[in-house]
Amino acid sequence: MRHTISVLVENEFGVLSRVAGLFSGRGFNIESLCVAESLDPTISTMTIVTSGNDAIIEQVLKQLNKLINVIKVVDFKDVDYVSREMVLVKVNAEERTREEILRMTEIFRGKVIDVSPKTYTVMITGDEGKISAFLTLIKPLGIKELVRTGPIAMMRGDKTIKMREKHSKGGEDG
């Protein structure tokens, strides 16, 4: 199963390598990882997409929590959340496909952010489904290069990640 996890960490050097090292050292999957400063500049938010069975995910969450610099870990599995990713696609833009690319970009509410005589660079944001739908449609036109951010996520409504205690899951304690 796929899980999107938010990890709040101290905004210090070396923290990213601790998290990345944990995943590689223990053979956990990492599908994407997105990290930047949060509202509080002393804290960074990492959004990690990982996969594994329940036992593995339980270990991922616990092992992340165990890192000294990790302040809070939230698995979005059981909460209602929104998630968005951004992708930049450089597409072949020939005479006969230019119109098509623009039309598609508009339908997906994307933007052309760079143009050259032979290419368009298109930016699309959305959830995973939307992005893959766009890529499927645009692929036959010839994608020259593609860069994705990996998703970032947030709880829906007025809920936010509470910082008080470190362990988000009281799993062990009933």
Partner 1 sequence: MKKTGAQIFIEALKMEHIDTLFCYPGGATLNITDALSSSDIEQIVVRHEQGAVHASDGYARASGRVGVSLVTSGPGATNAVTGIATAYMDSIPLVIFTCQVPTMLIGNDAFQEADIVGITRPCTKHSYLVKDVKDLSRIIKEAFYIAKSGRPGPVLVDIPKDVSAALGEFKYPDKVNIRSYQPTYVGHVGQIKKAMKLLASSKKPVFYTGGGIISSGASNELIKLAERLSIPVTNTLMGLGGFPGNHPLFLGMLGMHGTYAANMAITEADLIIAVGARFDDRATGKVDEFGHLAKIIHIDIDPTSISKNIKVDIPIVGDSKNVLKKMLDIVLEDKEDFGNYSSRIAQWHHDTEKWKMDFPLTYGRSGLLKPQYVIERVCELTKGKAIVTTEVGQNQMWTAQFYKFQKPRTFITSGGLGTMGFGFPAGIGAQVAFPDALVIDIAGDGSIQMNIQELATAVQYNLPVKVIILNNRFLGMVRQWQELFYEKRYTWTHMNHAPDFVKVAEAYGAAGYRIEREDEVDKVLKEVFKNKRPTFVDVMVDPEESVYPMVPAGAPLREMLLV
Instruction: List residues binding partner 1 (CB under 8 A).
Output: 9-10, 14, 17-18, 21, 25, 55, 58-59, 62-63, 65-66, 68-72, 163, 165-167, 171-174
- Shortest reach from residue 61's CB to partner 1, in Å: 9
Question: Of the two residues 109 and 166, which places its CB atom closer to partner 1 in the complex?
Answer: 166
Question: Of the two residues 95 and 173, which places its CB atom closer to partner 1 in the complex?
Answer: 173
How far, in Å, CA of 63 to CA of 18, rounded?
11
How far, in Å, CA of 104 to CA of 86, rounded?
16
- Shortest reach from residue 68's CB to partner 1, in Å: 4
- Shortest reach from residue 66's CB to partner 1, in Å: 5
In the numeric block, which tokens belong to residue 14?
A: 């070396």
The number of beta carbons lying within 10 Å of the beta carbon of residue 123 is 14
How far, in Å, CA of 118 to CA of 144, rounded?
11
